[in-house]
Amino acid sequence: MVRTFYNELADKINKIKDSFNRPLTLSEKILYSHLYNNKNIVSLRRGVDYVDFAPDRIAMQDATAQMALLQFMMAGENRTSVPASVHCDHLIMAKSGAPEDMKSALITNREVYDFLSSVCNKYGIGFWRPGAGIIHQIILENYAFPGGMMIGTDSHTPNAGGLGMVAIGVGGADAVDVMTGMEWELKLPKLIGIKLNGKLNGWTSAKDIILKVAGLLTVSGGTGCIVEYFGEGAESLSCTGKATICNMGAEIGATCSIFGYDDSMARYLFATGRKEIAVLADKNRKHLNSDPEIFSDPTKYLDRFIEINISDLEPHINGPFTPDLATPVSRMKAEVEKNKWPVKVDAGLIGSCTNSSYEDISRAASVVKNALNVRLTAKSEFKITPGSEQIRYIAERDGYFKLFEKIGGEVFANACGPCIGQWDRKGSDQNLVNTVIHSFNRNFAKRTDGNPNTHAFVASPEIVTAIAISGKLTFNPITDTLLNSEGKEVKIAEPVGLELPPQGFGKIENGYQEPEKNGSDVDIIIASDSERLQPLKPFKEWDGSDFSNLPLLIKAKGKCTTDHISMAGFWLKYRGHLENISDNYMIGAVNYFNDKTNLILNQLTHKYDTVPSVARAYKSAGIGSVVAGEENFGEGSSREHAAMEPRYLNVKAVIVKSFARIHETNLKKQGVLTLTFSNKEDYYKIKENDKIDITVLKEFSPGKQLTVVLNHPDGEKEKITANHSYNETQIAWFKAGSALNLIRKSKKST
């Protein structure tokens, strides 16, 4: 597939360039060379028009794959239409170190792994067993290729942009579209260009670039955009450093981020055994980069342009509770004091899919070595989560784990663990206020250890390591000294690292299971009494009537991420069981009317109860309901459970000030009506015991506003208007009851 892709690339790009008759950015080259149908591409408007694409491959992680594959099984196909892979990484609990944790994961999650393995075997999907590693690291090491396009059922899929790929996080229903050979639809993204000048030095690393960008653009600043990095600074970064930046681009809401093909990518491809791809990419180098005119006049061709001088960039620490609260390390003391964040750091954690490259591990290890040289030990706990078995193997072989052990470091399994609330941390159930610092990407409340009072900060692996040694959030390794075991004031020398392992990656048993050539005889077993897996039933079609008298379920106040809507941690175990996981719907969201989580008014009983209980009460009474929210509703992960749960619980519409892209699409795909207030102040008009009508649904059409009537309890009615972003296809999803219902219908009729 990759060989054919490169053989055809020059021809395709030349045709696209002829159509446009202007220079093209890298993203445009990749997007337009992956169209599902040839359209009049020149007339397509960025940020406005929906376009159908044909991605090259799909990746799914175990938590989202369960629901994606349960949906795929309903579609009536024999094989997946494009190469796909499933990665067992999210369900492994970090507790006592890799060996014990792996043993326990294999027992606890056995039925889920068996289910995924059998579905993969049946439908021709590559299966990466538990322990093989984290989805994005495995993709970078094995599948990503410059100029390609992939989607993944995980919001950090853009990690592959580090190898020059347009890689986009989606919900499972999108993956089902592509696996069934259908088009995959996306609003044509706008383009943000970020020129990196200079070269990193000292304590600063690639992570600090994205921490800085997150501070500049905030969690929603990249929404609907592809971020393209270029400039001498970009070329000076390692391929894995680029991947870190693209990975964490999800934290600014970007559709994806990307770097043009360069020597660092060639080096990484060679090192990971993909010489042939490097040679083919080299031949196509000019097609795998933006045209030179884009670099010389970026504002003419891009929707937004930013320049950063990385020679002057300071290490940053972002957080707590949001990844865009960026503070340069020299200002931490003042910020910690001003905000009264707990200074003492209880744990430092490095690794994850974001930051566990050889370069990251070797730089963190050099911090440890430098600290040991001046007789320092670590004041905080120190944990390491390797991104893959490949990385774990070389880090151990090259002596880095031995160094970490000397400061009490503990190596967790090659899995997500503390990055997704899967850290069974001693004492976290006591909800004590405390600080941790990690090199992951997200730090929303409860995401590290389930404790809402854990203040999680994000930094580079080398800064995390230095802070874990100091035990203080205010420690600035560039300027500060620490007292060593001999009572002397000492400094930790600057870290140094290696881009790639000098001894190579080596040959290992990587945990991959090749699917059966013909899987027609493979049985998929789901126990009838399973608590974790449940076959799906199609959602009902829209009955053609307006929605009337729907009680407000919850008006969510402030930040409402997918973690608030459908929590991870404990709930990960129900990701294949829609009925059971629906018991976590909106339990993390704050009720606008009482500032409490998971306590809302039941309009039938006039008593307060949990969100899922009230939703189930309405559902049992045959009543639908409405959810309201504020800005960037559903930011964070791609998990479609956050969209399937409200659909299952009979929530008919979600009306918010604005949506995060993936969540809005997920809701649309499941048949939940997604609306935004045309006047954002109307959010405040919704009262706790309102009944809501949504009218003119019969005339539901692209660009036409809908009317929402708020029936207040005193008999007063208030009419407001709501916008929507549905196109014709998406309206058809709504009418059919879900996108999958529409796929099934069209498959039946062909």
Binding site for ligand SF4 (CB under 6 A): 89, 134-136, 154, 156, 352-353, 416, 419-420, 440-441
What is the edge-to-edge ordering of all strands in the sheet holding 316-318? 326-328, 316-318, 454-458, 434-438, 345-351, 381-385, 410-411
583 is catalytic: no
The β-bridge relationship of strands 434-438 and 454-458 is: parallel
Contact assessment for residue 653 and residue 626, using Cβ atoms and an 8 Å cutoff:
yes
Q: Two tokens at 183?
A: 């088009």
Closer to ligand SF4 at the Cβ: 124 or 417? 417
Contact assessment for residue 579 and residue 587, using Cβ atoms and an 8 Å cutoff:
no
The minimum distance between CB 227 and ligand SF4, in angstroms, equals 18
List C-alpha distances in Å: 179 to 80, 182, 399, 695: 5, 7, 42, 36
Residue 447: CB atoms within 10 A of its CB come to 27
Tokens 């969690």, located at residue: 219
Closer to ligand SF4 at the Cβ: 156 or 425? 156
637 is catalytic: yes
The minimum distance between CB 184 and ligand SF4, in angstroms, equals 21
Closer to ligand SF4 at the Cβ: 420 or 456? 420
* Catalytic residue (choose from 363, 639, 641, 724): 639
87 is catalytic: no
442 is catalytic: yes
* Catalytic residue (choose from 56, 89, 324, 449): 89
List C-alpha distances in Å: 488 to 345, 370, 448, 478: 22, 15, 35, 18
* Catalytic residue (choose from 87, 425, 442, 577): 442
Closer to ligand SF4 at the Cβ: 116 or 526? 116
The minimum distance between CB 250 and ligand SF4, in angstroms, equals 8
Closer to ligand SF4 at the Cβ: 353 or 626? 353
154 is catalytic: yes
Contact assessment for residue 653 and residue 672, using Cβ atoms and an 8 Å cutoff:
yes
**Looking at the DSSP assignment, which residues form a beta bridge with residue 691?**
551, 711
List C-alpha distances in Å: 698 to 383, 543, 545, 655: 56, 10, 7, 19
Closer to ligand SF4 at the Cβ: 149 or 420? 420
The minimum distance between CB 220 and ligand SF4, in angstroms, equals 19
CA-closest candidate to residue 202, choices 324, 313, 320, 291 = 313
CA-closest candidate to residue 261, choices 554, 6, 450, 547 = 6
90 is catalytic: yes
The minimum distance between CB 135 and ligand SF4, in angstroms, equals 5
Q: In degrees rounded to 5, what are phi and psi of residue 382?
A: -140, 125
CA-closest candidate to residue 302, choices 24, 580, 603, 17 = 24
Exposed e or buried b per residue across 614-628, where buried means at least 16 C-beta atoms within 10 angstroms of its C-beta: bbbbbbeeebbbbbb
The minimum distance between CB 416 and ligand SF4, in angstroms, equals 3
The minimum distance between CB 285 and ligand SF4, in angstroms, equals 30
Please tell me the distance from the alpha carbon of residue 556 to that of residue 686, in angstroms, as a whole number: 11
Please tell me the distance from the alpha carbon of residue 499 to that of residue 615, in angstroms, as a whole number: 52
Q: In degrees rounded to 5, what are phi and psi of residue 438?
A: -140, 165
The minimum distance between CB 652 and ligand SF4, in angstroms, equals 31
The minimum distance between CB 435 and ligand SF4, in angstroms, equals 19
* Catalytic residue (choose from 33, 356, 625, 637): 637
Helices and strands (DSSP H and E) totals, the chain? 26, 31
Please tell me the distance from the alpha carbon of residue 12 to that of residue 287, in angstroms, as a whole number: 10
CA 121 to chain centre: 26
Closer to ligand SF4 at the Cβ: 124 or 351? 351
* Catalytic residue (choose from 90, 274, 575, 616): 90
Closer to ligand SF4 at the Cβ: 355 or 451? 355
The minimum distance between CB 578 and ligand SF4, in angstroms, equals 21
Start-to-end Cα distance in the chain: 27
Closer to ligand SF4 at the Cβ: 353 or 550? 353
Please tell me the distance from the alpha carbon of residue 650 to that of residue 620, in angstroms, as a whole number: 9
189: preceding bond cis by omega (within 30 degrees): no
What radius of gyration do the chain's Cα atoms show? 25
Instruction: With both helix axes pointing from N to C terminus, report the angle between 389-397 and 358-373 in degrees, rounded to the nearest 10.
Output: 30
Contact assessment for residue 385 and residue 412, using Cβ atoms and an 8 Å cutoff:
yes
The minimum distance between CB 414 and ligand SF4, in angstroms, equals 10
Closer to ligand SF4 at the Cβ: 89 or 291? 89
Active site residues: 89-90, 154, 442, 637, 639
